[in-house]
Structure 1
């Protein structure tokens, strides 16, 4: 009876030592008498007690290694660069037997690649080259780590952080450039506004001048026509002077209505009025000739 119990206990111990379960997304490295035997896959597995031994439980899920690299750019600016490397075991046996510390190996490759790339770039170029640096790191790691049983899934360069004083200087420079561009834009807008206003004023004055010239030509032509009609009819100079005097007073009335002048100097003696009539007659005749000549010379629109 005791023998049976002893046998059952031995069998249970052997079964416990022989049977083992591998979880999903894991692999077990099995050695037999100190030599690699096989890789146990997920599920129920059997090993020979006292001969086979589980030496390593390998994680097959994607792992991430976060690093911070301190280096110097081509223009001697010290920066810190956060780098994230996502990797996965592709060959469990090689990952265990060929590489003692994969994280340290990946770190060494990342530091070497980042420092090599940043030493050839100025700070401004480094900001625009983050994706290229990440691709270079991923390519280098993929080539080097593949032989050790690791697959590089992705590499991210999340930021480039210069010294705080350098960052403050860069912000000041960017702010000054934006203010300069804004000032240039405002000046261009004001210039366009002034030019357009000047063009509009010139066109308005041109049209106004043409209107005044036509108006004066019509008035002068009418007065000259009336004056010549009176002269041809044999009417004396008194009637002619009365006509001119009437037009003279009408003109003064228009000036009083539309001009901003508050004081107007006029002759008060009879001789002064007679002289004014003579000058007015001569001016009308001269204006008629000048206005006719201007109308002939003015280009047609």
Structure 2
């Protein structure tokens, strides 16, 4: 019996010895209480406590933690949106006592402050501004949380707006607006490209017409020089200008017919097309020139007559002019002149 009592005492002593030691993990703080009163804060490692008298009241995680808060609120134009805010925070090592004893549910406290700030900031903004100024909202949340939670031993590392989800109907309307805006931009770019192509084509055609006209002018000038030289050569051999012109017209007529006949797929018809066509053409041209010259001469004569009539002085007749009395005086004057001459 005595041996059993000794063994029992040794067993109890071993249990007390084992319970006197405890360990704290890395990035964790242990709170030790003695008789229910705060005694000390223990860091990572192996520690000794008095069994039964001392107890570990709790352990605080010193790592950075994240809390996701989903909030439903409305914007300035009464559009309801769901905003997801991620809050990254940690316990300040120097304020473990405040974090453990002053705040029982830190997650609920942080959630309440996030709701309060977001529902105060978002209703001031339009939906588009909420997307554009989400960083400003996150900064406002962080500032408010830091002011409130630093008293309880918590440090707010960062706040992030990770999601903004409008009502499905509003989202579809926004997508349609964006699609219409992009279609409008595409139409404007296509119209501008079409305008550039049309302008470039018009410039090319204008340049082509200019060069074509210049070529035709050069061609006609050379033809005229050749005709003058041909007429001069024919005049030197005793052929007058009229005969030379007829010869040249006949030659060009038959050259044209030969050129047309050489084309196998041509459907061109020269009218008139008879052996005397060249002579008739020359006669008609000469008659036209003569008629034109006569008409021009007649017009000049009529212009001269009009100018002469415009230059004649206007005879002004007095208001008290008596035609019979004037004729009687003229007759009397003529008789006197005759008598004096006799």
Tell me what 2:210 maps to. Answer: 206
1:244, 1:280 within 8 Å by CA — same for their partners in 2?
A: no
CA shift, 1:32, in A, is 2.2
- 1:103-154 Cα shifts (integer Å, max 9, x gaps): 0110011111212221121111111222232222223222321121112222
Structure with the larger RCO, 1 or 2 (CA within 8 Å, 6+ apart): 1
2:64, 2:89 within 8 Å by CA — same for their partners in 1?
A: yes
Aligned equivalents of 1:166 and 1:189: distance in 2?
35
2:74, 2:123 within 8 Å by CA — same for their partners in 1?
A: yes
Asked whether 1:264 is paired with 2:276, we answer no
In structure 2, do the counterparts of structure 1 residues 260 and 148 end up closer, same or farther at CA, with 3 Å as the change threshold? Answer: farther
Aligned equivalents of 1:125 and 1:277: distance in 2?
87
Aligned equivalents of 1:171 and 1:273: distance in 2?
78
Asked whether 1:249 is paired with 2:254, we answer yes
- 1:209-241 Cα shifts (integer Å, max 9, x gaps): 001110111011211222244235531444541
CA shift, 1:279, in A, is 5.1
Aligned equivalents of 2:217 and 2:198: distance in 1?
28
1:230, 1:240 within 8 Å by CA — same for their partners in 2?
A: no
State how 1:1-301 maps to structure 2 within 5 Å: 1=2, 4-90=6-92, 91-231=95-235, 233-236=237-240, 237-254=242-259, 262-266=268-272, 268=274, 270=276, 273-278=278-283
CA shift, 1:61, in A, is 2.0
Aligned equivalents of 1:282 and 1:131: distance in 2?
95
Aligned equivalents of 1:280 and 1:245: distance in 2?
13
TM-score scaled by length of structure 2: 0.75
Computing the radius of gyration from Cα coordinates, the structure with the larger value is 2
CA shift, 1:166, in A, is 0.7
In structure 1, the gaps of 5 or more residues are 285-301
| DSSP-derived class of the 2:163 partner | coil
Aligned equivalents of 1:160 and 1:143: distance in 2?
25
Segment drifting more, 55-64 vs 161-170 = 55-64
2:22, 2:47 within 8 Å by CA — same for their partners in 1?
A: yes
In structure 2, the gaps of 5 or more residues are 290-342
TM-score scaled by length of structure 1: 0.84
